[in-house]
Amino acid sequence: MSETTHDATVAVTPPAAPDEGLTARELAAKHGLTVSGARPSLVEYVRQLWDRRHFILAFSRAKLTAQYSQAKLGQLWQVATPLLNAAVYFFIFGLLLEADRGLPREVYIPFLVTGVFVFTFTQSSVMAGVRAISGNLGLVRALHFPRASLPISFALQQLQQLLFSMIVLFAVTIGFGHYPDLSWLLIVPVLVLQFCFNTGLALIMARAGAKTPDLAQLMPFVMRTWMYASGVMFSIPIFLADKPAWIANLLQWNPAAIYMDLMRFALIDDYGAKFLPDHVWAAAGAWAVLFAVGGFVYFWKAEERYGRG
């Protein structure tokens, strides 16, 4: 009796993979994955910046210390540079061109020095902002952090430098007979408003400079033009008294002129409200808010593009 064995082949279908049929976006969402370097929400971005506030402050201090580390006079150049600029401007505009236009010497010299120091604060913030991303690509590409930390840190560095310079500015002002009084308390809100304006402008220039590095070569000419149009070396209402009123109004309402004139109003006894445009504090606040908020949002919108390419 023979036995015949028939082998039966059974096809076994493996179970479907649990992620089969999902798109890449759905798969990433399911497993909690996010795009590397993706731009966070605006609220989350602000939170990240706040978490890194100690880095921002430490970085600004380190840059300030290193700025003149190779010079023999070191940090003295923080005050020597604007003072030398003021001396040159006084010789050219005060003596040769007589740009004081009737302002007594004891008013014009503090007027000029104040203008140079305050405008230098804005000018340095802009120039540092232009290079904030393009000049720190190694740091940007190596570490993950909110890129706004860099231009904010550079603006803070310039504020610290101005605060050192204010000691000399106070000495010059007192030396020409303008002694501290209650109006000097206005220095604090002026500096706060100007710092907000400068930071917003630095953020705007940082995004523009990251895309167009050649902008750093153009900005000195732009800043020089802005300086001459802002009344650093002359009083706009006095110097343009024989010109159409709209020209003086236009120049006085530009933010650099507003912050300089408010500082002069606070420090110099004879520089009264007649030299200021109407609603000057409202204008100073509006410029600060407009650039601080607008510049921050403008910079944040390109967050994921910095350091790439």
The per-residue pLDDT for 256 is: 95
Give pLDDT, residue 299: 96
Regarding predicted confidence, which is higher, 239 or 215?
A: 215
Residue for token pair 């410029």: 287
Residues 154-173: b if buried by 16+ CB within 10 A, e if exposed? bbbbbbebbeebbebbbebb
pLDDT the model gives residue 140: 87
Please write the tens of the pLDDT for every residue from 57-96: 998 888 877 776 666 666 677 677 777 877 887 777 666 6
Specify the range with the lowest mean pLDDT, choosing from 2-6, 153-157, 161-165: 2-6
- Whether residue 165 has pLDDT greater than 90: no
Residue 106's CB is within 10 A of a number of other CB atoms, namely 15
Q: What is the pLDDT of residue 1?
A: 45
Here the tokens at position 247 are 């020209």
pLDDT tier at 267, thresholds 50, 70, 90? very high
Q: How confident is the model at residue 2 (pLDDT cuts 50, 70, 90)?
A: very low
The string of pLDDT tens digits covering residues 275-286 is 888 889 999 999
How far, in Å, CA of 170 to CA of 96, rounded? 26
Q: Residue 128 pLDDT more than 90?
A: yes
Which long-range CB contacts under 8 A does 183-189 form with residues at least 24 apart?
183/265, 183/266, 183/267, 184/266, 184/267, 185/266, 186/262, 186/265, 186/266, 187/263, 187/266, 187/267
Domain spans of the chain, in order of start = 44-64+73-305
pLDDT > 90: what percent of the chain?
A: 44
Residue 220: pLDDT over 50: yes
Q: What is the pLDDT of residue 202?
A: 96
pLDDT > 90? residue 105: no
**Residues 27-32: what's their mean pLDDT?**
55
pLDDT score of 16 more than 60: no
Percentage with pLDDT > 70 across the chain: 81
* Of 8 and 262, more confident: 262
Spell out the residues 6+ positions from residue 169 whose beta carbon is closer than 8 angstroms to its own: 113, 114, 117, 267
Both structure tokens of 191: 């500096």
Q: What is the mean pLDDT of the chain?
A: 84
Q: Is the distance from CB of 292 to CB of 200 less than 8 angstroms? A: yes
Q: Reply yes or no on whether the pLDDT at 141 is more than 50.
A: yes
